[in-house]
Structure 1
């Protein structure tokens, strides 16, 4: 039974406790709290990117540039599929964070359970359709002929693993919404160890395992996700972490109509933001593919490098969003502006350092993926030199979008991203090619990032996002009074 005083189950640890790595993000010094929360998230991002890089090294070294180009195309498509269901998880995570800030644990669990039910159903549908239409998707993307068969074998296995990978990411997001960024770090580490360890075994057919080639790399990822998500579910129940479901709470997997509508209303625009980014990425990949397999491979290994450059920005943006959601839920709007400022400064320092290091050591880093004499290597260096600095601007956008989305404002970021990705980035890439050649493709990246951060800053300063409201609706047929939750905060900013 939930206590009517605060919405917590009897005998549960209050959200302010730090058990199992949880942090109360509504108290304490903002800069230090933000950094301490962001570092484990950054560690998770590093592990995830390291895993992708290790797998790319196995594929590039053992199977060649055509296989590497195939995985680059397939990964872009998977990001598109992932985006189709990611928005619902993000919307639920915002609801979890705000509920946690209000000390309303039951609402946090209902939002988390609803997200699991909705996202898993959507992921199964998307995975099925993706598996069936893989050849058509690859042809639409203008995948190089020599890479199509490899890309199809790789992508179909990856589609089979989409539900497990979505559930794993969703659990990570929910845990961070409660202030726990350490548990996701440990289980991301488990996934990386299994995935990177199995890659050479299944690609080459070592020991009793069959030689699977590029499909072996995808199968390793599938197994790693299944192992990690299964272990995480057991850990959440064993450690009795805040978002665990038990008894009658399992009904939360079938969300109420009102909660479903709330998640869809916010999740669709967030998912659309991801779709805009991924669709623009696929369109850019199509433009790159028309320049031959060496340019495609060079761009593919540059994307591996960029995954590392953007890691601090993504981690800081996620930390800022979680902190802002909890503080908005607690009604502490005076801290929200300070969180934004701290996030921007932290991003400029860390992402700027990453860009400098990567540009100084780009050749040995890029050379890990292909041989020293590969024609793709100088192409990758050239792309990195032109476009990598734009990720400092990208990080600023992540911070600003993280704050406004934490209060449920999702349409402004969607319109900004659409304008920056299509009229600006892709428009410049196409229009300037007669004068700049392939350099037009690479210069379009920082141009798009500059446009996005300027528009995001204007929206943060002058937009109406502070007037949004976001709360988990009560179960169908049930009315909740203000006494059902901690009333120490309001959903509206002071002043």
Structure 2
């Protein structure tokens, strides 16, 4: 049956809302056209977090702002594993669409959803229970701890919808559809940012919930967007919807699930490494006082605008490379990577310059013009912001190698850059540089990640790795090396802590 499914043609490239063929046409324009909706979704997501931070900071003060910063780091940590599985599913779906195997793509999304809906619910329940313990691990300042707990516990109610929504949006991009996720990201952002002041202040019939009101707005927005997306998928008959007998695909296929776990776990561990590094750094920052913690939280809000273009381009490069690898068009993969690096440097560079020019008014949006944290935040920006140019290059390179199932190299590189390099520098230089050692650790670790990423891309042998389902390798092109990665030998392994 699987062999028959592999021969089924996919939807035509121009099918409305049905995805896009990324294996033909000029590479740079195709990549940019595909990346722009993803970039729009990323910017909207960042804007949503920033608007919510403005509401919290202006209405509830710096303690509340520091509380949301600490709580968001915990959220990222809890979501990391499922995010890795979503990335693995996206790559398999992209390769299936490259082979025109729509039924195979539906089997992947069915297994992914069937397995990880329960995981998402479990994360929400356990997060609610253990939220106080998680905040203690962060050494959350005493003034912010009660607020952080109130916010975090409500946010964990939103976790199941957030994870399922992220997985569906990633899967659609793997199928070449970047516009549908954009529309439903707009819906989520409008609801979340619009309802924040309503529930914080108790406007109209809404109850006055304070910081928990900000989280309540997120709950409503995420569940409404997820419901809307599911309805839209069936009304428009999008390729990844499941109907009739296809609903049986929700019972996880052991071979597909094994592939998602083996490849997704290292990618999830990459997110764990990022969040663990951020957790350790936040713990060090918290010891500098509430003003510095608030300043760092606001700096991270602005950094999302610097990260998101590179993250969107990395995701677009990965989806485009996966389709071309699935189609056996290896000659296009290197050109896709070069175009991604060029766009990442250009877009990120423009944003770095703009932020350097307008840092004071941008930071004052969150803190107010007279806040003692404003000067600290400007100093952090000066020392660390330019590191995101190197971060963008690294993400594009990682997006390409992951598209072929090579996940251990990026994991090791991130671990080296973010643990011994970043934390080692921060701790080692602190006696001499004070808090500046914390901020300078960002460019130091970014340079390490980029240098190692370039070396791995050029000489790491990642082209020999190959995504496969169970023991059945996917069809490959004549020019592809047929040596298989030994999956069993690998380790069982909206906040964006800066990379």
1:155 aligns with 2:152: yes
* Aligned residue among 23, 46, 50 for 2:43: 46
Per-residue deviation at 1:249? 1.1
Per-residue deviation at 1:472? 3.6
2-structure distance, mates of 1:411, 1:494 = 19
1:32 aligns with 2:16: no
3-state SS of 2:204 partner? coil
1-structure distance, mates of 2:433, 2:377 = 17
1:437 aligns with 2:434: yes
Match of 2:401 in 1: 404
Q: Deviations over 1:149-171 (max 9, x none)?
A: 00000000111111100011111
* Aligned residue among 107, 121, 141 for 1:124: 121
Per-residue deviation at 1:5? 7.8
Alignment of 1:156-195 (within 5 A): 156-195=153-192
Match of 1:477 in 2: none
TM-score, length-scaled by structure 2 = 0.94
2-structure distance, mates of 1:189, 1:490 = 42
2-structure distance, mates of 1:19, 1:228 = 20
1:308 aligns with 2:308: no
* Aligned residue among 450, 475, 480 for 1:492: 480
The answer to whether the Cα contact below 8 Å between 2:11 and 2:18 also exists between their aligned partners in 1 is no
Distance 1:438 1:150, change over 3 A: same
* Aligned residue among 366, 370, 386 for 1:369: 366
Distance 1:35 1:337, change over 3 A: same
Match of 1:350 in 2: 347
3-state SS of 2:405 partner? coil
Per-residue deviation at 1:257? 1.3
2-structure distance, mates of 1:471, 1:19 = 30
Per-residue deviation at 1:468? 1.1
Match of 1:339 in 2: 336
Match of 1:17 in 2: 14
2-structure distance, mates of 1:62, 1:184 = 31
* Aligned residue among 216, 224, 240 for 2:213: 216
Match of 2:253 in 1: 256
Match of 1:8 in 2: 8
1:241 aligns with 2:238: yes
3-state SS of 2:167 partner? helix
Per-residue deviation at 1:255? 1.1
Per-residue deviation at 1:49? 0.4
1-structure distance, mates of 2:253, 2:181 = 28
Match of 1:360 in 2: 357
The answer to whether the Cα contact below 8 Å between 1:15 and 1:100 also exists between their aligned partners in 2 is no
2-structure distance, mates of 1:308, 1:202 = 26
Per-residue deviation at 1:126? 1.6
Q: Deviations over 1:317-362 (max 9, x none)?
A: 0110000000000000000010011111111111111111111101
Per-residue deviation at 1:118? 2.2
Per-residue deviation at 1:85? 1.5
Match of 1:108 in 2: 105
1-structure distance, mates of 2:157, 2:344 = 36
Per-residue deviation at 1:260? 1.3
* Aligned residue among 415, 418, 425 for 2:415: 418
Distance 1:385 1:21, change over 3 A: farther
The Cα RMSD (Å) is 1.8
Per-residue deviation at 1:17? 2.9
The structure 1 segments of at least 4 consecutive aligned residues displaced by more than 4 Å after TM superposition are none
2-structure distance, mates of 1:465, 1:70 = 41
- Runs (5+) with no aligned partner, structure 2: 484-499
3-state SS of 1:20 partner? coil
The answer to whether the Cα contact below 8 Å between 1:21 and 1:182 also exists between their aligned partners in 2 is no
* Aligned residue among 263, 266, 271 for 1:266: 263
The answer to whether the Cα contact below 8 Å between 1:99 and 1:472 also exists between their aligned partners in 2 is no
The answer to whether the Cα contact below 8 Å between 1:84 and 1:275 also exists between their aligned partners in 2 is yes
Per-residue deviation at 1:493? 4.7
Match of 1:275 in 2: 272
The answer to whether the Cα contact below 8 Å between 2:330 and 2:479 also exists between their aligned partners in 1 is no
- Runs (5+) with no aligned partner, structure 1: 475-479
The answer to whether the Cα contact below 8 Å between 1:331 and 1:493 also exists between their aligned partners in 2 is no
2-structure distance, mates of 1:394, 1:18 = 35
Q: Deviations over 1:429-485 (max 9, x none)?
A: 1110100000000000010000001001101111121011213459xxxxx9x9xx9
1:135 aligns with 2:132: yes
2-structure distance, mates of 1:155, 1:334 = 47
The answer to whether the Cα contact below 8 Å between 1:309 and 1:351 also exists between their aligned partners in 2 is yes
1:77 aligns with 2:74: yes
Distance 1:205 1:330, change over 3 A: same
2-structure distance, mates of 1:68, 1:5 = 52
